[in-house]
């Protein structure tokens, strides 16, 4: 993945920002994997949430 996050800006608590900066300098591949993991979890969460909301909006069907 290399240094694909070079231009990404975010607001983080100071201690976390310092850890992210250190990880970017010492192990950028690890930081890339962490960000990818987080984005994947976020995507899955949104998909499941949207799916759940769609099911909630469907009328209830009685079982025979």
Question: Over the stretch 12-24, which tens digit does the pLDDT of each residue have?
Answer: 899 998 998 899 8
pTM for the whole structure? 0.62
Cα separation, 60 vs 64, whole angstroms? 13
Question: Over the stretch 8-62, which tens digit does the pLDDT of each residue have?
Answer: 677 889 999 899 889 989 999 998 999 999 999 999 999 999 999 988 887 767 7
Phi-psi region of 2 (alpha: psi -120 to 50; beta: other; left: phi over 0): left
At residue 1, does pLDDT exceed 60? no
DSSP 27: -
Band of residue 5 on the pLDDT scale cut at 50, 70, 90: low
Residue ranges per structural domain of the chain: 14-55
């Amino acid at each position: 993945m290399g240094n694909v996050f070079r231009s990404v800006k975010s607001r983080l608590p100071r201690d976390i920002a310092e850890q992210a900066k250190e990880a970017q300098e010492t192990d950028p591949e690890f930081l890339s994997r962490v960000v990818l993991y987080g984005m994947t979890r976020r995507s899955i969460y949104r998909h499941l949430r949207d799916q759940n909301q769609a099911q909630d909006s469907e009328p209830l069907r009685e079982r025979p």
